[in-house]
A and B are shown apart, each in its own frame.
Chain A
Amino acid sequence: MPELETALRQLGADLELPPTPDLASAIRGRLVRPRAWRRPVLIALAVLVVAVGAALAVPSARTAILDWLGLRNVSVVRVDELPPARPLGRLDLGPEVTLAEAKHRVDWLRVPVRKPDHVYLSDALPGGRVTLLWGTPSKVRLILTETGGRAYIQKIVEGESEVERVDIGDGGAWFQGQHIVMFQDRTGMPHESTGRLAANTLAWQLGDVTLRLEGNISRDEALRLARGIQ
């Protein structure tokens, strides 16, 4: 009955809806000051959620969640479905260097017991980033990313993904399932870091360094490897 549909559309035009606020101006203010991500109010508004998929929209709640995770520089965003990620094999990790060179240039670098096959150093992030890779760039077995104190990382996980606090370093979290990692570069622009890897990830904090171990490994394996990193 088209009359009903026409009548509904007309009714829609007559509905009493609040006027649209000037969102563009408000948004712009937040975009030009990327450091504002860290402000509690803005961060609180930025998605999140770790516990039980509940969405918490108040600043104190988000802060509490970050404290609970123990990850000062990592926020977790839960979405129903991950957007398409770029394919693997185009990892933008920065130039390859030797482990000795990385240690020389980045004084905060935490070195694993097992020597990596490849080391990359990037200055794209405010605090710098070192990537240690086991396997080959086209066939990654395990990847450890370390970022300096000022980097801010966001992890986007699917609704069903598990996020669990784990006891390691100064606080850590285990992410089971696919996810996407975003980071802000020096100019505040968000970037996808490594595309979508197979997987499971352990993220933890050691002092001002945020570490992320990704690969097709179990939680216990990841923790064992992570505890070997000094």
Chain B
Amino acid sequence: MERARRGDENAYEELVRAHQGIAFRTAYLLAGNAADAEEAAQDGFVKAYRALGRFRAGSPFRPWLLQIVANEARNRRRSSGRRDALALRAAAEETSGGAAPSPEGDLLAGEERERLLAAVNDLREEERLVIACRFFLELSEEETAAALDLRLGTVKSRTSRALDHLREAYA
């Protein structure tokens, strides 16, 4: 991080590689399509690089980066005029030729999984985004707050409310 702050491009590239997955997925969630997500993530990284001189040493990089990338993604969605929410889909199950399923894989098979996913997709967007950040992207509460531009308390209360709604729908 220090090397990147001093302008070492190789060091910054390492940072990008370390965070590009989560940055892209966060952008995808908010922008709603892969092309906009890619642009948003790229621009977020470029903007972060340009602002590194003002990044407070010792602070966590990831929430700061996600905030920048998420803003980019939201801006793209807003400027495109799209209102429809991103519908999340589960990948097709591998029925042959794949590796052995993980033990957790047995937890949610077939119908169960589709039912839960439908319940998530039926949530209000603000609740769906919190669930997606916290459980699908596995962001911390702080990172979720940064990505969704919310107060920490709002993330906590909204997550709790969304889980209640899911329990009702998924029970």
Residues of A with Cβ closer than 8 Å to B?
Answer: 1, 4-18, 20-24, 26-28, 30-32, 42, 45-47, 49, 54-58, 77, 79-80, 83-86, 154, 156, 180, 182, 187, 189-192
* Among B24, B104, B136, contact of A23 (Cβ-Cβ < 8 Å): B24
Distance in angstroms between the alpha carbons of A152 and B89 in the assembled complex: 44
The 4 A-B pairs of least Cβ separation, nearest first, read A55-B75, A12-B136, A8-B135, A18-B34
Per-position 1/0 for B80-124, Cβ under 8 A of A:
000000001111100000000000110110001100110010000
A selection of 9 A-B contacts at a CB cut-off of 8 Å is A4-B170, A6-B104, A11-B117, A15-B90, A16-B88, A23-B45, A27-B16, A154-B50, A156-B51
Contact A8 B105 (CB under 8 A): no
Contact A83 B54 (CB under 8 A): yes
Query: Which residue of B20, B64, B68 has the most chain A CB atoms within 10 A of its CB atom?
Result: B20
Contact A27 B21 (CB under 8 A): no
Distance in angstroms between the alpha carbons of A15 and B88 in the assembled complex: 7
Verify if B126 is at the interface (C-beta below 8 Å from A): no
Q: Which residue of A lies closest to B68 (CB)?
A: A79
Query: Nearest Cβ in chain B — how far from A49, in angstroms?
Result: 8
Contact A24 B47 (CB under 8 A): no
Distance in angstroms between the alpha carbons of A54 and B76 in the assembled complex: 10
Query: Which residue of B54, B107, B120 has the most chain A CB atoms within 10 A of its CB atom?
Result: B54
Given A17-B28, A45-B39, A57-B39: A11 and B90 interface contact (C-beta under 8 Å)? yes
Residues of B with Cβ closer than 8 Å to A?
Answer: 7, 9, 12-13, 16-17, 20-21, 23-25, 28, 34, 36-39, 41-43, 45-47, 49-56, 64, 67-68, 71-72, 74-76, 78-79, 88-92, 104-105, 107-108, 112-113, 116-117, 120, 131-132, 135-138, 149, 163, 166-167, 170
* Among B47, B107, B117, contact of A46 (Cβ-Cβ < 8 Å): B47
Query: Nearest Cβ in chain B — how far from A195, in angstroms?
Result: 9
* Among B13, B34, B52, B78, contact of A24 (Cβ-Cβ < 8 Å): B13
Query: Nearest Cβ in chain B — how far from A191, in angstroms?
Result: 6
Query: Nearest Cβ in chain A — how far from B57, in angstroms?
Result: 10
Tell me the interface secondary structure of chain B in the complex.
helix
How many CB-defined contacts (below 8 Å) exist between A and B? 160
Contact B91 A16 (CB under 8 A): yes
Distance in angstroms between the alpha carbons of A56 and B13 in the assembled complex: 27
Query: Nearest Cβ in chain B — how far from A58, in angstroms?
Result: 8
Contact B113 A11 (CB under 8 A): yes
Contact A32 B42 (CB under 8 A): no
Q: Which residue of B lies closest to A77 (CB)?
A: B47
Q: Which residue of B lies closest to A81 (CB)?
A: B67
Contact B75 A18 (CB under 8 A): no
Distance in angstroms between the alpha carbons of A189 and B163 in the assembled complex: 46
Query: Nearest Cβ in chain B — how far from A11, in angstroms?
Result: 6
Given A14-B90, A30-B46, A77-B47: A23 and B16 interface contact (C-beta under 8 Å)? yes
Contact A14 B108 (CB under 8 A): yes
Query: Nearest Cβ in chain A — how far from B151, in angstroms?
Result: 12
Contact B138 A27 (CB under 8 A): no
Contact B107 A31 (CB under 8 A): no
